[in-house]
Amino acid sequence: MPVIDLELYLQSATEEFPSEAALAECSKVAECFHNFGIILIRDPRVNMQDNEEYIDLMEGYFADAGDKFYRGEQVNEIKPEFHYQVGATPENIEKARCHREMLERLALSEANLPGCPVEPVLDANWRYMWKIGERPEGASDDFPQVIPDSEQYPDWELKMNTWGEKLHSAIFTVAEMAALGMGADKSAFTRRMEGGAHLLAPTGSDLEKNDIGAVFAGFHYDISFMTIHGKSRYPGLYVWTRDWKKKAVKIPEGCLLLQSGLSF
C-alpha cells in the first residue's frame, strides 16, 4: 500500500487547479479507499511528538481511572447521562452489532476470527470522548466537555486539542483529496463535514486485568465517514480488505492511518 504524501497536495491547495503530482496523490487516495478501505498518509503539519505526549496523557489517565473504578470509587468523568458521548466510557459498555448473517454468507468462521466471537460480547476496552471543532447551535450532541481533575492533568485541554485539531485538519484534507480522486468537486465531502460530530476518542486496554483472548473491540464497522489514527505503542488493530482478508495494521513511523466508515 502506498503512503499518500499530503505535502504535494497542500502545496497547490490554494491554486485554482492542483498540480499533476497533487492529482496523482488524490487518485491514490481514491484507489486505496476502494481497494482496501484504509489509507496511510504523511502530513507535514503533524508533529509526532504531539502524539507521544497525547498517548502519555491517556495511558496515565486510563490507569488512574481504572484503579478508581475497580476499587468501586466514583469516576467523575463517566457520564451515562450524556450517553457516554463525552468523557469516559468504562469497560463492558460498548458492544458491536451482530453480523452473524453476513459472516455466514461469507463463509467466515471462528477460524477466520481468532479471539473474536461471531456473537458480539461487551468490549473490554475503555474510551474517552473529546469533542473537536465547532458544533452548530442546537446540535443533538451539544454536551459539555468533560475535563478530569485540573490539578492532576493541568495540560489536558492543550494536549487533547493540539493532537485532535491536527487529526481534524488531516482528515479534512484527505476528504478533499478523496473527492478529487473520485472525480467530484473538492468540497463534495467537506461541506457535509463542517460542524459535524468530530470526536477524539482514544481507547485504553488494560493488559494486566484482562487475560490473553480478551476482546477489546469486536468485529465491527465504523459509523462515521472516516476514522483517523496515530501510531499506537501496541499491536492489536485489524482491518478487512474488500476481498475479506483480515490484515494486521502496521503504521510506518511518521504516518497516520485512515479508515472509511459507514455514513447514513
pLDDT over 50 at 115, yes or no: no
Contact 100, 116 (CB under 8 A): no
Classify domain 3-260 by CATH architecture: Sandwich (2.60)
Name which residue leads in pLDDT, 107 or 91: 91
pLDDT of 211: 87
The domain locations on the chain are 3-260
pLDDT tens for 188-234 read 999 999 988 899 999 999 988 888 888 888 777 777 899 999 999 88
pLDDT tier, 185 (very low <50, low <70, confident <90, very high otherwise): very high
E strand or H helix that includes residue 238: strand 238-240
Can you tell me which residue has the cell 496523490?
25
pLDDT given at position 141: 74
The answer on pLDDT for 167 being more than 90 is yes
Each residue of 131-144: pLDDT tens digit?
Answer: 998 888 877 777 88
Instruction: Give me the pLDDT at residue 107, please.
Output: 63
Using pLDDT thresholds of 50, 70 and 90, give the confidence band for residue 264: low
pLDDT classification of 24: cutoffs 50, 70, 90? very high
Summarize pLDDT for 43-100 with one digit per residue, the tens: 999 999 999 999 999 999 999 999 999 999 999 999 999 999 999 999 999 888 887 7
* Radius of gyration of the CA atoms of the chain, in A: 19
DSSP state, residue 108: -
| CA distance linking residue 238 with residue 223, whole number of Å | 17
Whether residue 110 has pLDDT greater than 90? no
In the structure, what pLDDT confidence band is assigned to residue 113 with cuts at 50, 70 and 90?
low
- Is it the case that residue 173 has pLDDT exceeding 80? yes
| pLDDT for res 39 | 94
Distance (Å, rounded) from C-alpha 32 to C-alpha 30? 6
What backbone torsions phi and psi does residue 263 show, to the nearest 5 degrees?
A: -105, 145
